[in-house]
Amino acid sequence: MSNVVSIPSTRDRVLDTLLVYAIMDIGLEVDPDIRFRVTLGQENFITVNYSNSNLERDMLSKLKDKSKRFSIADRMNFFLNMGNTSWKVDKWVCTYCTGKNDCNRNGDCGKTNILAYAVLHGYIKSMGSFSLPWSPKSITKAGSRGRRCATLSVGVSPYWSKGIRRWDMGEWREDSTTVEHSVLPFALYGLGNYTINVVTGNMLIRLMFSPPVGRELSHLEAIKLLTLVRRVVNSIYIEMQRFFRLEFPSMVLPLSMLCFLDVPAIYMLHQFSPSILLISYDLYRNSPKNPRGYEELSLADALEFYRQIGESFWDFKKMIIDLVSLAEREEYRSRVFDILIKLALGIKNKEPSYFNDALLNIQSLRKEVNVKFFVIGREEMLAAHRALRTSH
C-alpha cells in the first residue's frame, strides 16, 4: 500500500533546502522504494510517496544513529536545550551593543542579544517521535503581556537562535521559553551533511548548495541533485579552505570554485541551476557577520559561460587556478582579486570589455612576477567572447 504526504514549507528558504537533502537522504536509507517530488518555492516544498508503514519511526531511528555533536557548538558561550527544556543565555557575553552603552559588556543595558547555536546532539537523541507532514507553527513562544520575557526563535536562517533575557528591577530574571518543532532535527542533519565549514581567524564561514526555487524536480532529478551535491562538496572542500583564508570577494566565489569541477559536473549543475548559500559567523562576538545571516549567490551565470566555451574551459580553468595560487602572495593579492572580479563581472553582465581589461592586467602581472602562470591565448579569448554573445 502506498502512502503520500506533502510537506508544507517552513517559509524559510535555507531551512527548506536543508530539509530536502535530509529527508531525501534518510528516506532513501530506510525505504529504497521511496519517491520524492521537490517543488521548492511552493506551498508544499516536497512530496513523499512511500510504502514503508513504519517510515517515521525508521527515519527517526536512522537520524539518531547519524546525529553527531558539532564542535562549533562548544565554542559558543551559551546554554541551550530544545524541545521541552528551558534555555538561558550567558549574561557575560553581550553582542548587542558590544559595550558601547557603558555596560562593560555585562549585558546591563538590558539589550543582550546572544547567538545560540541550534545544532545540539542532545535534542536529536532525546526526541521521542515526529510526524510527516508536520503543521508549521510559530517557532517563537512569547511570554505573557506586560512582562519582558526571554524568547527563542529560528528566523531567517536556522543556524542560530537569538535570545533576549529579561532585565527587571536591576537584576536578571531566569525566565525561559520552550520550543517544539519537529522539523528541526532533519534540518540539522542536512546542515551537518551538505555544508562546507571553513574557519579563518575569528570567522566561521559555512557554504551550502541550495536547490532551485520554483521548479519541480522529479524523483530521478532529485536523486541526481543529491548525488551531485555530495560530489561537489567532496571536490571543493580542500580548495574552499584556501579561498576563505585568502578572504576572496564573494562575487568571485562561483567563478573560482567551479573551476575545480569537471565538465560533466558543470553540465549537471547547469541543468539544475542551484545556488550557493554563504553564512558567516564572527566567533569573537558570537554573532552572524551580517544581520540577514546569509547571502545567496547564483551559479547559473558562471555555469552557462563554462558550458558555452566548450573545450576552452580547460585552459580557462588552468588560468583561474594559477591566479588563485598567486593570491597566496600578499603583495599580489589585491591585483589578483581585481582581475577575478573583472572576469566575474564580464560573465555576469555578458560584457567582453571586462575580459579584455582582465587579460591586459594578467599579462602585465605576469611580466612582474617571478612565478610562471598560465594565461589564455587568442583562441580561448575568442571562445570567451562568443560565449558571452551567445548567452545574451
Average pLDDT over residues 285-311: 74
* Three-state secondary-structure class, residue 186: helix
229/97 same-domain check: no
What is the pLDDT confidence band of residue 210, given thresholds at 50, 70 and 90? confident
Residue 100 lies in domain? 3-184
Categorize the per-residue pLDDT at 117 as very low, low, confident or very high, splitting at 50, 70 and 90: very low
The one-letter amino acid at 96: Y
| 320-352 confidence digits (pLDDT tens) | 999 999 999 999 999 999 999 999 999 988 999
In this prediction, residue 356 carries a pLDDT of: 93
The per-residue pLDDT for range 164-201, each reduced to its tens digit, is 333 344 554 443 333 345 676 787 777 777 888 777 77
Work out the end-to-end distance of the chain between its first and last CA atoms, rounded to an integer number of angstroms: 50
- Quick: pLDDT tens for 38-48: 998 888 899 99
Distance CA 250, CA 238 (A): 18
Q: What is the pLDDT of residue 294?
A: 65
Assess whether pLDDT exceeds 60 at residue 79: no
Are both 122 and 176 inside the same structural domain?
Answer: yes
pLDDT score, position 219:
93
Strands of the sheet with 216-217, listed across from one edge: 3-8, 44-50, 35-39, 216-217
Flag whether pLDDT at 104 surpasses 70.
no
User: What is the pLDDT at residue 84?
Assistant: 33
Report pLDDT for 147: 31
CA dist 52 to 33, 55, 61, 294, Å?
A: 9, 5, 14, 37
Q: Is residue 189 part of a domain?
A: no
Query: 233-258: per-residue pLDDT in tens?
Result: 888 887 888 888 888 888 898 898 88
Please name the helix (run of DSSP H) or strand (run of DSSP E) that holds residue 47, with its range, or none: strand 44-50
Quickly state the pLDDT bin for 293 (edges 50, 70, 90).
Answer: low
**Is residue 157 a part of any domain in this protein?**
yes
The last residue of one of the domains, among 161, 184, 207, is 184
Mean pLDDT over residues 343-371, rounded? 91
Task: Assess whether 70 and 208 both reside in one domain.
Answer: no
Residue 283 banded pLDDT, cuts 50, 70, 90 = low
Residue 27, classed as helix, strand or coil, is helix
State the pLDDT at residue 264: 83
On the question of pLDDT at 5 being above 60, the answer is yes
Q: Are residues 316 and 336 in the same domain?
A: yes
User: Does 14 fall in a domain?
Assistant: yes
Q: What is the pLDDT of residue 126?
A: 63
Q: Which of 184, 207, 229 is the C-terminal boundary of a domain?
A: 184
In this structure, the answer to whether residues 220 and 361 fall within a common structural domain is yes
CA 343, CA 324: separation in Å to the nearest integer?
13
Residues 6 or more apart whose CB falls under 8 angstroms from that of 234 comprise: none
- Residue 284 falls within a domain, yes or no? yes
CA atoms of 379 and 383, how far apart (whole Å): 6
What is the pLDDT, as a whole number, of residue 133?
73
Helices (H), 35-166: 55-66, 121-126
**Whether residue 229 sits in one domain with residue 180:** no
Question: Is the same domain home to 176 and 199?
Answer: no
Considering its fold, how many domains does the chain have in total? 2
Is there a single domain that holds both residue 23 and residue 83? yes
Residue 9 belongs to a domain: yes
User: How far is residue 126's CA from residue 124's CA, in Å, rounded to a whole number?
Assistant: 6
The residue out of 162, 184, 206 marking a domain boundary is 184
The C-alpha cell 536509507 sits at: 29
Give the pLDDT of residue 245: 84
Distances (CA, A) of 35 to 4, 5, 368: 9, 11, 58
Band the pLDDT of 281: cuts 50, 70, 90: low
| pLDDT grade for 10, boundaries at 50, 70 and 90 | confident
